[in-house]
Structures are given as structure tokens and as C-alpha cells.
Amino acid sequence: MLETLSKLLNQAENAATEAEAEAFFGKAQELATLHAISLAEARAHSKRSQRREEPTHEQVTIGLPRQHINSHLCLLSVAIGEANSLRTNIASNNTYVIWFGLPSDIEAATMLLHSVSHQMARAADAFVRGRSWAGERDLENGGTAMTAQKARKTYYTTYVRVIGQRLMQARKAAEAHYDRTSESETGAALVLRGKEIEVRDYYAANSTARGSWRGSRASFSSGRAVQRATADAAKARLEPAREIGGSPPAVAS
């Protein structure tokens, strides 16, 4: 599955048009969802003596302390995790997340996170350097002059929201495709629900999280940032994730 997913991501990276990039993005998430459904169905019918995936958890490094992008990458991790049947814990200082779920789902989600996070950071830098936001007023701060930091924050908020919507749309499309084509009497939603209950129980037994996460407050103060981030996230390409090994690198710089 991961080999096929990588090929889709390469095709998305080299897409000739935004429509093609959009199609490949959706196909990548649909593939991950369909694979998850197939595995969940197989696990439900497997014998105890047979090897089967079991829930686990894995820490993914987000970035160094006190980076403004960290909280937005944590929210991106939550969105990607939700689309791939994962539970997410977030470090209090936003430097890492812990995903709880099946190994194959974590692997697919990590690939998506590394790809999208790098694209988001690069696109935000380009937007801020362009200074199209410079003449705006920050209505969330009493109409003061817009700052680069606030424009960037609005950009990240919007980008993460659009990516989350696209991933869930792709997941729903995969579930609908499974229901149309599968000979199984069990629908996709029910198959995934069985797996998610197992992940929930594992999470309850193994998570050490305490309290609730206090992330960065969403911002939509820059209309130019909202417009640009919406367009950039809508055409975001997925590319093969960087190899993760040794000391895990941050997902974006």
C-alpha cells in the first residue's frame, strides 16, 4: 500500500494542473482509508493464532520549543490523525505529538504530516514575503496595522482548516466507494468503528495525558491571508515523506 501511495504522491507533485493535484490528493487519502478498512475487516475475522496488527503509539517530533508554527502543526496532526482513525496527544509545549492507533495508520499519517507541513511552511513564507497583507487592518486587535506575525497566523489557521476538510472529504469518498463495491454485508463505517473502539480502549489504557491542550487561538484577521491560504491548501500536493530514523526530525522548519 505504501508503495502505491508513494507513486500517487509523486504524481501529485508533478501534476500539470491544480485539478490533477486535487485528484491525486484525494486518491492518496482514499487509498489510506480503503487500506485501513481492508485491514480492519481482515483483523475482525482473523484467528488469534494469526499475526495481526495491534494498537500501539508513536511520538512524532513537531519542532523546537517556542516556534510559532508548532501549535498549528499540532492542529494539523489532529486533523490528519482523525482522518486516519488515530487518537492524538499533544505535548504541553507543542514540540511533539503522540499518535495512538494501528501501525499502518500511523505510518500513512506520518507520511501525510511531513508532506503537508513542509508545503504549508514554504507557502506561508512566500505569502508573508509578498506583503499583500501590509495595507490591511487587524480588526481582532482594535483596527491596528496588520503585522507579519498576525498575517502568518491567519494563513496557518486557514490552511490547516482547509486541509482537514479535504482529508475528511476523501475519507468519506473512500467509505462510499467501499460500500458500493464491496461484497461484504458490513458497511465501511461499521468496519472502521470496530477498529476505532479497539484504539480507544488502547488509548484509555496507555495514554498519560493530563488536562486539556491550550493551543494557539484561531485567527482570521487578514482577509488576504484567508484567501491565499484557502487557494494554496486546495491545491496542496503530497510528496514522499522524508525518511524518519534515529532522532526524529521536526516535521517542518
37, part of any domain: yes
Number of domains in the chain: 1
Residue 6: is its pLDDT beyond 60?
Answer: no
Confidence of residue 11 (pLDDT cuts 50, 70, 90): low
145, part of any domain: yes
β-partners of residue 98 are 59, 89
Q: Give the pLDDT score at 13.
A: 58
253, part of any domain: no
Strands (E), 102-142: 137-138
Q: Give the pLDDT score at 35.
A: 66
Regarding pTM above 0.75, the answer is yes
What is the tens place of the pLDDT at every residue in 35-86? 666 656 555 555 443 456 899 999 999 999 989 899 999 999 999 999 999 9
Q: Give the pLDDT score at 22.
A: 66
What contacts 230, CB < 8 A, 6 or more positions away? 158, 162
β-partners of residue 87 are 100
119, part of any domain: yes
Maximum Cα interatomic distance, the chain, rounded to a whole number of Å = 66
Angstrom distance (rounded) from CA 130 to CA 51:
54
Residue 96 is part of which domain span?
2-44+52-234
171, part of any domain: yes
244, part of any domain: no
CB atoms inside a 10 Å sphere around CB 221? 21
Angstrom distance (rounded) from CA 100 to CA 85:
9
Residue 29: is its pLDDT beyond 80?
Answer: no
Residue 150: is its pLDDT beyond 80?
Answer: yes
What is the tens place of the pLDDT at every residue in 94-110? 999 999 999 989 988 99
65, part of any domain: yes
For the record, the C-alpha cell of 242 comes out as: 522524508
Query: What single letter denotes the amino acid at residue 235?
Result: K
Residue 246: is its pLDDT beyond 60?
Answer: no
Q: Give the pLDDT score at 8.
A: 58
29, part of any domain: yes
Angstrom distance (rounded) from CA 234 to CA 214:
27
